Amino acid sequence: MENFLIFLVGLLLTCSVRALADAEYMRYKDPKQPLNARIKDLMNRMTLEEKIGQMVQIDRSVASTEVLKKYFIGSILSGGGSVPAKQASAETWINMVNDFQRSALSTRLGIPIIYGIDAIHGHNNVYKATIFPHNVGLGATRDPELVKRIGAATALEIRATGIQYTFAPCIAVCRDPRWGRCYESYSEDPVVIESMTEIIPGLQGDNPANSCKGVPFVAGKNNVAACAKHYVGDGGTTKGINENNTVIDRHGLLSIHMPAYYRSIIKGVSTIMVSYSSWNGEKMHTNHELITKFLKNTLHFRGFVISDSEGIDKITSPAHANYSYSIEATITAGIDMVMVPYNYTEFIDGLTSEVKNQIIPMSRIDDAVKRILRVKFIMDLFENPLADTSLVNQLGSQEHRELARESVRKSLVLLKNGESTDKPLLPLPKKAPKILVAGSHADNLGYQCGGWTMEWQGVSGNNITIGTTILTAIKNTVDAETKVIYKEDPDADFVKSNEFSYAIVVVGEHPYAETVGDSMNLTIPDPGPSTITNVCGAVKCVVIIISGRPVVIEPYLTSMDALIAAWLPGTEGQGVADVLFGDYDFTGKLPRTWFKTVDQLPMNVGDPHYDPLFPYGYGLTTKAAQM
């Protein structure tokens, strides 16, 4: 009997050891295992609550250890201006992201979060980051290789703060400049936008040559997951009204608004964000035909589809009027991750109830979670969930600022240069007794950067971040003996009485984003027009327009000796002076048609009523001054 007991105890111990060994080996945590095997193993271990948690993205302001542990949250974001502290350092960002990550890793299965942010023209929420020109300016460069380098630099600055995911690029085709997001669009021409998807391998790394079409790819710790947005037709809404209805037939949708999505998927884009807008009256957030049948099944996109912020609420009018329907409609349409920045518990409770009551099939949940986990595994988040400080010196580095300066130079479009080609005003001489710099935008870094800079709507002033204003750039460039006088809004008498050699007038739009930027008149805010009139009526002048789109300038054009479209150049204003004074040539070409009057809109190249002030693709060149 004693021997039998010994045998029994030994057998039990052996079984226990084997059970412990089996329990300790989690296939999904083994990087040597095939991707699909890891996904399947993890999925088999997950409860419904854990799966639904992966489908949820919340803002950092409502995130905490308790929330992540209780709801198994899959993703956190920083919305525009949502920062850990004012002028937070890279280390402060890293510590915040890592704290959230440790909370996620302490849950039962230890699934890491993915942290997202709108880094749409550089890491634009972060103090000291390099702010590149907005997309409309990059479209003027016609330089996909440059845009790829910008993507790579931006990825390094994002990773410098511990973040792994950006809601960029915007590949909208803006067909009406009255749209408040037009500066987020590279061009009215889908061919240009398709070429600019080269920013995706910049952000994510080059997709391997033998990779399967549609499979997301992120090269490593120096790269980030990208997000092509806003699917699809967001730039084609009636009268350019944000989040409105795009009226176009299927052929038009596929030929104008869809090509850049084909290209993005081929290049391995990790995620795609759905548009607030509608297509022929149907909200994109509920469009099963375009999200599931076309994007996932026809185009074979294997990353995850994410909603826009509170996009699920906005499918009803008024918003949030029938939330249970909104959950059913958006999830059934094929949205995988839902951006519910603040009111996440209502979404989690509602989705859980609808799955348990078989309103939404479990297969739809499994599809969503597989896609989210696929991106996380491909990013090596399970192997490298925590950020370190090895890249903090990349934030606002001199190399990146030089790249931004190059981008500014190449984005400038020269629209007028003297009364005739044999009497150009530009390039300006650096040596002159006295010159005037005027205009509300000459010495305002916030205006120069535009919306989506430090705050969602952008801000005014020179203390928002580190950079060089156009006025400072001019002073840095002219001869040491040239006297530079700056007066924001001089009257004509002041200009006439000072015997200036020439004047540089810098005016334009105030910062805006999204719906706030919708404009039916597209006029330059006061005192811009009077500044142009007062200065250009009294002295030879070059006018520099800082704007996210073409604006009304025809009434003032005859008084200007030269005119430059500088778009929204970002922090490196020195790039403007580089070209203005002839150290580099003007090479930019209009990415958009410049209208005569807003009554012509919408008007795009190829339209039968095409009668522009400056046509699409227009741009004068200069010969750089001999040094």
Catalytic positions, please?
308, 514
Q: Which two tokens stand for residue 275?
A: 């548009």
Contact (Cβ atoms closer than 8 angstroms) between residue 330 and residue 292: no
Distance CA 440, CA 506 (A): 7
| Pairing outcome for strands 541-546 and 502-508 | parallel
Residue type, 116: G
- Give 166's strand partners: 117
Distance CA 447, CA 562 (A): 21
What's the 3-state SS for 571-599? Answer: CECHHHHHHHCCCCCCCCCCCCCECCCHH
Give the H/E segment covering residue 492: helix 492-496
Contact (Cβ atoms closer than 8 angstroms) between residue 405 and residue 368: no
Contact (Cβ atoms closer than 8 angstroms) between residue 524 and residue 507: yes
Q: Which two tokens stand for residue 581?
A: 């004074």
The number of angstroms, rounded, from the C-alpha of 211 to the middle of its chain's C-alpha atoms is 26
Give 288's Cβ-side CA count (13 Å radius).
6
Distance CA 495, CA 489 (A): 10
Q: How many CB atoms lie within 10 A of CB 21?
A: 9
Residue written as tokens 């399947």? 40
Contact (Cβ atoms closer than 8 angstroms) between residue 317 and residue 328: no
